Homo-oligomer: A and B are copies of this chain.
């Protein structure tokens, strides 16, 4: 079984605040060339995408420097719902959601282990895609991200990312006063070369364990890349 966990990429699609506008426009035509091609203009973090360490760390690895096999994940779905807008997801809440299986997750950090190497965190925010409210997603505390790092697992989210996103009314990157500055959750994961997959969709009815393919384009020195995120499982 396969499931598409990707957002469509199209002209005018929603983007992270300040990111480049996305456009997909015809180039060659059947009439003039005998075939159709198009030109895509997109930010490297548009739609469903992966972050490379370089995204927040100036010395971090780029998407073309990471073994692409790392992006064929053994993934586990972690349902954190219900959550409030801009609710912090603490290390304790994450541990509770992982429950008795946490020790199994832990094994994934051993080389060659077929265990989990990505936690897909379901916040329920996918349903707000395209609305201002999509910005008001829950976020991972630095401690929660550090716990993932210690488990050796990357993180996939159904939101703009694991750190807070500026509100629709903010004039800059300022967020609520109790929210962290900067990108501490990103930094904790990316400093350990653990991938982050963002803006996932289609999590409804997924099994708790599946394989997730989210191969970044081989962008030279790329800080991230749009991906076709595809889940596969037996069934």
A4–B218 contact, CB under 8 A?
yes
Task: Give the most central of A1, A11, A36, A230: most B CB within 10 Å.
Answer: A36
How long is the Cα–Cα vector from A149 to B37 in the complex, in angstroms? 23
Interface SS of chain A = loop
Q: Which residues of the partner chain B approach A222 to less than 8 Å between Cβ atoms?
A: 9, 24, 38
Task: Report the copy number of this chain in the oligomer.
Answer: 2
B34–A43 contact, CB under 8 A?
no
A residues contacting B by CB (< 8 A) are: 1-2, 4, 6-11, 18-20, 24, 27-28, 30, 33-45, 47-48, 54-56, 58, 64, 67-69, 71-72, 173, 182-183, 186, 213, 215-228, 230, 232
- Not counting A1-B69, A9-B222, A27-B44, a sample of 20 additional A-B residue pairs whose C-beta atoms are within 8 angstroms of each other reads A2-B68, A2-B69, A8-B64, A8-B220, A19-B27, A24-B219, A24-B222, A35-B223, A36-B58, A36-B223, A38-B222, A39-B42, A39-B44, A40-B41, A47-B218, A69-B230, A213-B213, A215-B215, A215-B228, A217-B228
